[in-house]
Structure 1
Amino acid sequence: MVRYVRADRGTRVSMRQAVRVRWGWVRLARMAGLTVTDKTPGLLAQITAQKDGPAPAPRVLTPKIKVKPDRFGVIVRARTLPRVGLEEYQKAARFLADAWRCTRVSVLPDGPGRVVIRGVRSDPLTTPTEHRPTGRPPEDVARWELGVDEYAAPVCVSLANVPGVTVAGTPGAGKTSAVNKFVCDLAPSAAVQIVGFDGKVSRASEGDYADLVKRMFAFCGDDLDEANALFKRLVALRRRRSSVIRDVLGVKNMWHVGPSPEWPFTVVLVDEAHTFFREYKGSDAETKRLAALTVENARLVEDLVKKGRSVGILTILISQKTTGDAIPTFVRDVCPVGLSFAQKTVEAAVAALGDDIRNWPDASPVTLQDPAYVGVAVMAMQGRPGFTRTILLPALQRAVSRPRTPFYGAFTQTFT
């Protein structure tokens, strides 16, 4: 009763729903085909049965369950039985959703002989959310906590040994908010250093990174000459790190010992990446000069993506479309992690997530064009088949608008 009184409105509804699930489970399991008939009498029935009497009636076994409510619905952990395993539970998921009055139900393995059934009453993808940074250094700087999936389960991505990430989506779909949250969470750690490129502004104060630029050791806008010079500095950093990593860390791969203030995890953010890679066509001298700069930019970023993983450099490329004309394929296809917000065409979704997205039409980012799905991205989860739809929690940027001294602790060490 105390938990019920202290809970929010959504959790109270889920608590009442959990009571109905427990009380109606035996009957529902029989109707859904999740029971098994055991014709072998138990030990007590064998002892009490008369020698010449009728045989004991067969027993109907029902899986045991444990139900836990939360603000979105219920989490049911159930046992399996002979001939009632994971596949049978998955086939019965739609019947369970109707009986429990849930929007959707998923069934996943929960260890040997167990399954976890997740039923959500309200859609987490359309529920307004926010993320308030704690201001404390994260325990694992290589862990990107994106948000929650369509079953309200936490979604995170490991960035250790990841050379690059691509983020795609239509304007206003949530790309920059997702990156801002990422920066806000990592900002308190001196073991992380950040450099920013924003191809849609001339100065940092004009764009979405105005509150975050103080945390970056370098930043440039859409000026191709300035961007080219900064890319060259980053490549020089990569080469310097590669040449001294054995002497400084004693290993060939930085991730074997992890980031530190002396050897920080360097994150390169390239927003509106197509600005720095676009193909200029023309015969005049200025056009030829700009074309040469973009070609060299692509070559420099290729160096960072293909050779920066082991020395702790991560490149995040953000663009509306990650097709070959926006991000060169020899750079895009090397990035193992890809996120896509809403897209208008299947071709754009394939460019962002790979050709396998055609086999998962329900998870395609083309279905996210409704305004209710702003902030929802599709990605291939590490170690899980298929694709997952995730709502990325927007960060409150004012939490880092006034950086403290520890934020600047290793700025000068990055290029030494």
Structure 2
Amino acid sequence: MAYAPIAVGAVLGLLVLRGLVWIVRYVAADGPMRQSIRQAGRIRRRWKRFAQMAGLSATDRMPTALASLATTDASKQPKPRVLVPTLKVKPDRYGVIARARCLPKVGLEEFQRAAPYIADAWGCTRVSVLPDGPGYVRIRAVRTDPLLTPTEHVPTGEALEELAVWSLGLDEYAQPVAVSLSDVPGVTVAGLPGYGKTSLINRFICDMAPSPAVQFAVADGKVSTTDAGDYADLTDRLFAFVGDDLEEANALFKRLVALREDRSTCLKNVLGVKNVWHSGLSASWPLTVLVIDEAHTYFRDHKGSDRETKRLAALAAENARLVEDLVKKGRSVGILVVLATQKSTGDAIPTFIRDVCPVGLSFAQKTADAAVAALGDDIRNWPDANPVHLQEPSYVGVAVMKQEGRPGFLRIRTPYVPDADAARVATNSTHLTRDPADLLIHVAGQATMRDFLTKRDTGTAA
């Protein structure tokens, strides 16, 4: 009994400490976070009652050993116990994330069926329930819609640890969404003008620019000179840039196809592998990204019988053939093509290019056919995610993409990168800009490259 006051004091001390931590955290939080903290407290307090009302409980008719010993009258059995899944709740700016432990007959399916009731009871706009390891489910409840909340991204200016990952933004449950670029030859980005295509690509360049293991070339069909358009602030970080001139674009595409051929010829001898992704990117063998914005400018089929029209038609056809080469053969040597256009129909991006690109995103579209061209026919089976519903101004910056590894599609809020930040990153990383062809000569050696190129030209390369 002498230790009882000490134990009581220790318990009270822990409670006081816990209360102080809660108060400090609450005071330091901003308005949305404070609201989520209060929401999490209400959920914890009401969970046991609500779970039983929502059918998320199980009845245990087997008495515990202690209850059996406490029952002296054999004719009276202990009352069955009502078990409720344990719940741990964590707040964030958008709502709460809860982890619940499953019970017999109260598993993933039961939680998913109860999701609408959970949303109503917790005061949330939507609730997602997913498995979270054996015997657990993860409940994501958002109070404010992340898709309707514009966000900004401020690049750190530091090189990313993982260059093979493209961070896109937040999904409709405010969870980060990223896509792997490892072994990806091409990405298509479609959507109406002004809805976020170029901003998405700008963020990608700004995040990757601080690393010497990534080099960029841009063909922008919206402008004629480097000092105009959306990429003007990033020009210093591009090893090549062309505008809407088809001949200049053709020369750039030929230059990159030549790089692809040279890399293919000496890849195994220089790196010791048949696929650069098996050894990893480096400053001497960087990921070479070709961005083709307003891609239809370079591939459009020109109709007419006059000399100039025929010349443009021939250039467009050759442009399509060259980009097809890059998309179909550039993956293993570290070349990625990003094609952006308003409608990724066959007349804008030839199907023999578009259908080889494994990653596709679409911002707002006007027609169902345009949505199908961008995302595939399966989008018809998911009407709630169809980008034709994103034409409202509040959805500027929201894109749709296929869910990797799961059925259905993701809606993603992509952030805006301020022009000043893009310019800052480009200026600070200008010294990293290199022509990948020059780097290849350096890493392979001039004599070795001459030997490889001679073998390639004579058809004797291994």
Same fold (TM over 0.5): yes
Q: 1:341 aligns with which of 360, 363, 373?
A: 363
Is residue 2:283 matched to residue 1:281? Answer: no
Shift of 1:373: 0.6
Distance in 1 between residues matched to 2:231 and 2:383, nearest whole Å = 34
The farther-off stretch of 282-291 and 332-341 is 282-291
**Cα shift at 1:51:** 5.4
- TM-score after normalising by structure 2: 0.88
| Distance in structure 1 (CA, Å) of the matches to 2:434 and 2:228 | 26
Contact 2:100 2:137 in 1 (8 A): yes
Residue in structure 1 matched with residue 321 of structure 2 by the alignment:
299
- Contact (CA 8 Å) 1:108, 1:115: kept in 2 or not? yes
2:392 aligned to which of 367, 370, 373 = 370
The separation in 2 between residues aligned to 1:415 and 1:204, in whole angstroms, is 26
> Aligned letter for 1:31?
M
2:424 maps to which of 386, 392, 399: 399
The answer to whether structure 1 residue 267 and structure 2 residue 292 are counterparts is: no
Secondary structure of residue in 2 paired with 1:176: helix
Q: Which residue of 1 aligns with 2:231?
A: 209
**Distance in structure 2 (CA, Å) of the matches to 1:411 and 1:135:** 22
Q: Alpha carbon RMSD of aligned pairs, Å?
A: 1.2
- For residues 249 and 192 of structure 1, the distance between their equivalents in structure 2, rounded to whole angstroms, comes to 17
Q: Specify which of 123, 126, 138 is matched with residue 116 of structure 1.
A: 138
Aligned partner of 1:95 in structure 2 is: 117
2:161 aligns to what SS in structure 1?
Answer: coil
CA distance 1:339–1:303, change in 2 (3 Å): same
Give the TM-score normalised by the residue count of structure 1.
0.98
Aligned runs of 1:215-230 on 2, under 5 Å?
A: 215-230=237-252
5+ residue gaps in structure 1?
none
**For residues 243 and 48 of structure 1, what CA distance do their matches in structure 2 show?**
82
Write out per-residue CA displacement over residues 177-234 of structure 1, whole angstroms, 9 at most, x where no aligned residue. 0000000000010000000000111012111000011101001001001111110010
Q: What stretches of structure 2 of length at least 5 have no aligned partner?
A: 1-22, 442-462
Distance apart, 1:44 and its partner CA: 1.3
TM-superposed CA distance for 1:381, in Å, is 2.4
Contact 1:215/1:403 (8 A) holds in 2: no
What amino acid does structure 2 have at the position aligned with 1:403? Answer: N
Deviations 1:49-73 (A, max 9, x none): 2352311111111000000001110
The residue aligned with 2:181 is 159
- 2:169 counterpart residue number: 147
The whole-number CA distance in structure 2 between the counterparts of 1:125 and 1:51 is: 61
Q: Percent identity?
A: 65
Q: 1:37-116 to 2 correspondence within 5 Å?
A: 37-50=59-72, 52-116=74-138
The answer to whether the 8 A contact 2:190-2:344 is kept is yes
Shift of 1:96: 0.5
User: Match of 1:66, SS?
Assistant: strand
- Partner SS state of residue 350, structure 1: helix
Q: Which amino acid aligns with 1:322?
A: S
Deviations 1:250-300 (A, max 9, x none): 000000011100100001100000000000111111111111110111010
User: C-alpha displacement at 1:393, in angstroms?
Assistant: 1.1
Structure 2 counterparts to residues 305-320 of structure 1, below 5 A: 305-320=327-342
Q: CA deviation at 1:400?
A: 2.1
Larger-gyration structure (1/2) = 2
- Kept in 2, the 8 Å contact 1:190–1:406? The answer is no
Quote the Cα distance in structure 2 between the aligned partners of 1:74 and 1:333: 39
Secondary structure class of the residue paired with 2:432 = helix
Name the amino acid aligned to 2:386. S
Tell me the number of residue pairs that the alignment of Structure 1 and Structure 2 aligns.
Answer: 416
> Residue 237 of structure 2 contacts residue 429 of structure 2 at CA under 8 Å; is this kept in 1?
no
Paired with 2:70 and 2:264, the residues of 1 have a C-alpha distance of: 78
Determine the C-alpha separation between the residues in 2 that align with 1:278 and 1:415. Answer: 33
- CA distance in 1: counterparts of 2:436 and 2:356, whole angstroms: 28
